[in-house]
Amino acid sequence: MRQFDSRVLAIIGICGVLVPQAFGATITQTYSGGFPATITGTLPNQGTALLENFTLSSMTNLTITTTSYASGGFEPNLLLFNSAGKFVMSGNPFGTADPSTGIVGDMKLTESGLAAGAYTLAVTDFLLNQSLTATNLSDGFTVNYGSGTTFVDANGNSRTGNFALTISTGASAVPEPATFWLVAPFLGVLAVIAGRRRFSRRTPGSVA
């Protein structure tokens, strides 16, 4: 069952029942370069969903972060689907609050150990989503609590159709320099303890 953006549910809770509009146009494009990848563009209207296809060549950690709202664009919603169109996961509000609106309007999607394969990232305005009974990406984005034309945020402020997101993969297993120097003294203590334990096991007269 498809999960709605928590911000939508909060608006419904404050304003009461909102009647969804019937919009659901999509733009499909494919990214085939390396990672990290920064993807930008502009949706023509609030009722349009961007479907970004990309392929992971091996199992990896995936992080997708938007800077749409921070740069004046709409509040994005992120949904990830696998090659069969099955829902994998959704993003969560991310970043610092915008100083002029007080809204944390961007999103971050993270998954560890994501299998190799083809994926589709759906990027929509936070008021555009799939039906709660949708079971596949092919069901489309047919539930829209927005106007279908202009973009606004959760407080009703006018926004643009601009979007910006970064797709990153993998994670470094090597501690960063600052982290290493914090850990190094601890590793030294462990080495001393291990040495003392080896020494204490020797019996009088034994040869090392």
pLDDT tens-place string over residues 69-128: 999 999 999 999 999 999 999 999 999 999 999 999 999 999 999 999 999 999 999 999
At 174, the pLDDT band (50, 70, 90 cuts) reads very low
Could you tell me which residues come within 8 angstroms of residue 129 by beta carbon, excluding any fewer than 6 positions away?
A: 2, 4, 5, 8, 77, 141, 143, 144
> What's the gap between Cα 28 and its chain centre?
19
pLDDT of residue 183: 41
Average pLDDT, the chain: 82
Asked: is 6-169 a CATH 2.60.120.380 domain? The reply is yes
CA distances for 54 relative to 29, 78, 83, 118, angstroms: 9, 14, 10, 6
Mean pLDDT of 25-41: 96
With vertex at residue 64, the alpha carbon angle to CA 28 and CA 177, rounded to the nearest 5 degrees, is 150
Mean pLDDT of 196-207: 42
Domain boundaries, given as residue ranges, for the chain: 6-169
> Could you report the per-residue pLDDT of 145-166, keeping only the tens digit for each?
999 999 999 999 999 999 999 9
Q: Are 106 and 65 in contact (CB under 8 A)?
A: yes
pLDDT of residue 24: 58
